[in-house]
Copies of this chain bind each other. A is one copy, B any other.
Amino acid sequence: MKKVRVRAPATLSNLGPGFDVLGLALDGPYDAVEAEVRDQPGLSLAAAGPFGDRIPLDPAQNVAAYAASRVVGDRGLHLRIEKQIPPGSGLGSSAASSVAAAVAAARAYGLPVTPELLLPIVRDAEALAAGSAHLDNVAPALLGGFVGVVGQDPPEVRRLTFPEGWWLAVVLPAHPVATKEARAILPDQIPRSDAVANLRALTGLLDAAARADLEAFARHLVDRVAYPYRRPLWPFLPTAEAAALGAGALAWSISGSGPAMFGPTDDPGRARAITQAVVEALASAGFGATAYVSRVGTGALDDR
């Protein structure tokens, strides 16, 4: 029976001023999904990897299973999800599983694998996981790179320029944040001046990435649409930020709705020093943490 394995990366999302708009694929960690064609109709699930015990194995409850069945319908399929990205991390854990599952399912049956076909499916899977359909994790997990979600329905996503030589220092505190709760905390109305501040910063951020101007990119890595309301969810942030800036980070920001945090740099040694300083500071404050040092990565469509 035909069996394929596809990896989809962790992703930074809500990147700076790009709330629900900007996402970036890391070059790890990854979730991997093995899809195997079965004679008997319907879908079965198994989980593996360090976080395999954190996801539901009932296909009706599992977003990767949802994505795969949207792709193959009633055809027989067994999915083995290798979970390397911690759930509730702010690093697009559910998005990576959905994307890997959708691509693996399509490839197992030789079905077309295009962004146009898959994005609406993984968008809807994300809506089940997060309580709202946002594409800023699934799009970079699928396409790789730095991605702008410029349309939601139908999905319209654009690869944006991101300097090859930049690195991301990423630290994930052991302090889960529930995406649905983080969304519920946001007010329906926000000050117009905050909206305009984000429009300004977004323009500055995209321009800085296109010019590979790290100093300007860091200065515009700010948000006033969601950040001010979610700050109470991130009690570790002031400690982490001080340590990161002290170790040479030019900015320190939240990914998704947290708890993952990151800072951009143009030097892998500095990226390691930043993550180390943040992990140590968090340990002193009583927070365990995991660190990743990453470049911008490729997406599931590139994994063949």
Contacts and interface: CB of A to CB of B under 8 A. Distances in A.
Interface of A: 17-22, 148-152, 156, 158, 160, 186-196, 198-204, 206-207, 210, 216, 220, 225
B17 A200 contact: no
A158 B201 CA distance: 12
Contact of A150 (B20, B21, B150, B207): B207
A161 to B, nearest CB: 8
Contact of A158 (B22, B152, B203): B203
Contacts of A207: 148, 150, 158, 160
A11 to B, nearest CB: 16
Given A20-B199, A150-B220, A190-B190, 20 more contacts: A19-B199, A20-B196, A21-B199, A21-B200, A148-B203, A148-B204, A150-B200, A150-B207, A152-B200, A158-B203, A188-B192, A190-B191, A190-B192, A192-B225, A195-B198, A198-B199, A199-B225, A202-B202, A202-B203, A210-B210
A70 B64 CA distance: 63
Contacts of A160: 203, 207
A184 to B, nearest CB: 13
Determine chain A's interface SS by DSSP, over half rule: mixed
30 contacts: A18-B199, A18-B203, A20-B196, A20-B199, A20-B200, A21-B199, A21-B200, A21-B203, A22-B203, A148-B200, A148-B203, A148-B204, A150-B200, A150-B201, A150-B207, A158-B203, A187-B192, A188-B191, A188-B192, A189-B191, A190-B191, A190-B192, A190-B195, A196-B225, A198-B199, A199-B199, A199-B225, A202-B202, A202-B203, A206-B206
Contacts of A149: 200, 203
A253 to B, nearest CB: 16
A200 B151 contact: yes
Contacts of A187: 192
Nearest to A158: B207
Contacts of A158: 203-204, 207
A194 B198 CA distance: 12
A295 B257 CA distance: 43
Contacts of A200: 20-21, 148-152
Contact of A192 (B186, B193, B203): B186
